[in-house]
Amino acid sequence: MIPITVPYLKLHSSFRAIIRKLRFISWISYNICFCKAALILLGKFCFLSATKLLAYHLFDSHSNHIDQFAGLIFSHKLVDIAVVAVLITYLTDYPRNYNVVEAARLVNLQEGISASTVIFLTCIPDAFSGRLNVIFYSTISCILGLVLLFITAFEAAASPLLKRLILIGVVLLAVGKAGMQHFLGPFLADQLRAHEPIKLNISEHRVSARKRVWWLIPFFFSVIASVQLSSWRVISTFTASATGITLFIFRLGIRFFHSTEITGPAAGSSLAVVFRVVKAALSKRHLNNPYSSNQLYRNDQNQVHLFPQVKFFRWLDKAAIIEPSTTLISPEEQEKAGRLCTVAQVRDTKLMLKMVPIWTTFVVFGLIVSTGQTFFPEQGNQLNPKGFITYLLVIQHLSRVFGNFLCNRLLSKWIPEAKQKGAKIVRILAGMVLSTICCAVAWRVEVHRLIIINNKGLLDNTDEVIPMSIFWLAPQFCLLGLMQGLARDGINKFLTDQFPEPMHDCVSAITELVTGFASFVNIVSVYFNKSLFADTLNSSRLDEYYKMLTIVRFINICYFWWISTFYTRGDDTAEADVIPQATGREEEEDFKVIVV
């Protein structure tokens, strides 16, 4: 048996090695696409980030010569990690010396403006002629904002002019962030789709897989580069100069982009359709509800009570009624005059209005996210070792990616199709529970931090490093990422599954607007609780504020559970028959998290 067994084992081992090689080759061909347009998008990130590392190791980070190499660095993601995510620490440091309430107000203003800009760019028709223009002008706005922050970083003393420049810079940075964050990904997707060999049968799975490969590499380069940046002068110099180089390289590579995608229309006009349907329905309020499918314009499904069949929105069906006696002869003329809408437009409007209650449950969730993005970095600004806050931001981001990825895999593999809708609600609920736990953990950690401050006599000394490890904050940053991966990305997945594909971008933008609106709510919340806040975080009672948010969050969970019961009812099969869904896009949300 030995002479037979040994050759068999060798043959079996060789066969398995061949299989592994074939699988690897298959993975490479499936996930990697050598698209020139994508190479331009990736190359600018890797080149600038790699040269940043070279400059850092050749020159001391505190050397005056480092400014000469500012033009060789950066990636767009670096702006998020090194500037936007820790903006509050810039505002409270010397010589800006914003008090904690003013700094929080400015950071929340930036977040709210960014979310509002997203909804404008995504849902208002003809705002721009295409995604390429949105990216270009957004990058210019980002450059101008970074230049103003660069100027203020070198000011030796605070002044009214300094604060005005910072305010203008923050607003410009918010506008730039909105366009770059939400349009670079779709633009890359368009390029990869145009690069597909079979135009009539594009594999969205393969496009999503290739997007992840093209974006993961620059993301990790940006993380590595951001942890090397020490002072705000270095950060502002690098980011302002390198964003200009990024834009220059982007414009140089325009001839490599697929021309059919460059001049494409701006994404979506779904909000305009909503207003049009409401206006048409109000103009026909004197009519009775439709009693025959022949009364309705472009009624392919032969419906009488249009989907979704919500009694409160029954009056919207009148927008699709063809008026028999009117000076406008044909239905097309009625539609052109704004008095007639298609059945599909009425359906989309009713679907969007139906989702308003569940959107309201995310205002408090957005309040927690806004609080975490505002006060969490400031908590770690004085902890030991100082300057390690970037590592916690990476933990937060990876936690979000992991939570979203795990839930998507569990839903797709273990949950039957008939129970998918309820499972997505449970996912969102789990994220909201984690947000409550996040507030509770942050509350207890802040109590511990304040005890150390009082024991060491550091209440009025904001320059001294607190003898407490910064990794005490790791659990709350991790929970902040997990709750976003479960709830925030979960609500996007839940809502986009309810709508036809053309409305997906607008629905996601509205969700972004709701959570961004919570930033304005946070401004009001801090104002009404101003007795808890002093000039510095050390002398404030942030622990009491976290405690209050924990209670509010628990109440909001109960509200969400009650609201969610209305969305788990109904016939999912009928819904699927009425709403045309895109196929092959299950992995799209994974990529969106990576981009964010």
Domain hosting residue 343, numbered range? 270-347
Shared domain for 37 and 130, answered yes or no, is yes
Domain annotation covers residue 25 = no
CA distance 589 to 585: 8
Total domain count for the chain? 3
pLDDT tens for each residue of 191-228: 777 766 555 555 677 777 777 777 777 777 777 777 77
Shared domain for 379 and 251, answered yes or no, is no
The residue out of 248, 267, 286 marking a domain boundary is: 267
Q: Are 463 and 334 in contact (CB under 8 A)?
A: no
CA distance 260 to 203: 19
Shared domain for 434 and 542, answered yes or no, is yes
Is the pLDDT assigned to residue 52 strictly greater than 50?
A: no
CA distance 229 to 61: 8
Shared domain for 318 and 393, answered yes or no, is no
pLDDT at 365: 93
Domain annotation covers residue 181 = yes
Task: Identify which has the larger pLDDT, 435 or 297.
Answer: 435
Shared domain for 191 and 228, answered yes or no, is yes
Task: Identify which has the larger pLDDT, 269 or 502.
Answer: 502
pLDDT above 90 covers a percentage of the chain that reads 27
CA distance 493 to 425: 10
Shared domain for 222 and 312, answered yes or no, is no
Task: Identify which has the larger pLDDT, 146 or 271.
Answer: 146
The residue out of 231, 246, 267 marking a domain boundary is: 267
Q: Across residues 310-323, what is the average pLDDT?
A: 87
Shared domain for 205 and 300, answered yes or no, is no
Please tell me what DSSP assigns to residue 296: B
Range ranked top by mean pLDDT from 255-259, 326-330, 359-363, 578-582: 359-363
Shared domain for 286 and 380, answered yes or no, is no
Domain annotation covers residue 2 = no
Shared domain for 340 and 427, answered yes or no, is no
Task: Identify which has the larger pLDDT, 438 or 496.
Answer: 438
* C-alpha count within 13 angstroms, C-beta hemisphere, residue 552: 17
Q: Across residues 430-457, what is the average pLDDT?
A: 94
Task: Identify which has the larger pLDDT, 282 or 588.
Answer: 282
Task: Identify which has the larger pLDDT, 441 or 66.
Answer: 441
Which CATH number is 186's domain given?
A: 1.20.1250
Q: Are 145 and 536 in contact (CB under 8 A)?
A: no
CA distance 69 to 52: 8
Is the pLDDT assigned to residue 64 strictly greater than 50?
A: no
Domain annotation covers residue 5 = no
Domain annotation covers residue 414 = yes
pLDDT tens for each residue of 391-428: 899 899 999 989 988 888 887 778 887 788 888 899 99
Q: If you average pLDDT over every residue of the chain, what do you get?
A: 78
Domain annotation covers residue 23 = no
Is the pLDDT assigned to residue 287 strictly greater than 80?
A: yes
Domain annotation covers residue 205 = yes
Is the pLDDT assigned to residue 485 strictly greater than 80?
A: yes
Is the pLDDT assigned to residue 230 strictly greater than 80?
A: no
Phi/psi-derived region of residue 271, left when phi > 0, alpha when psi is between -120 and 50, beta in every other case: alpha
Shared domain for 274 and 170, answered yes or no, is no
Which CATH number is 482's domain given?
A: 1.20.1250.20
pLDDT at 1: 43
Name the residue among 116, 118, 92, 114 with its Cα closest to residue 104. 92
Note if the pTM is more than 0.85: no
Q: Look up tokens 């820790």; give the residue.
A: 86
Candidate from 67-81, 396-410, 437-451 with smallest mean pLDDT: 67-81
Domain annotation covers residue 4 = no
pLDDT tens for each residue of 527-563: 999 899 998 899 999 999 999 999 999 999 999 999 9
pLDDT at 322: 87
The residue out of 209, 236, 267 marking a domain boundary is: 267
Shared domain for 182 and 162, answered yes or no, is yes
CA distance 520 to 174: 14
Shared domain for 234 and 277, answered yes or no, is no
CA distance 22 to 40: 29
b/e 393-416 (16+ beta carbons within 10 angstroms → b): bbbbbebbbebbbebbeebeeebe
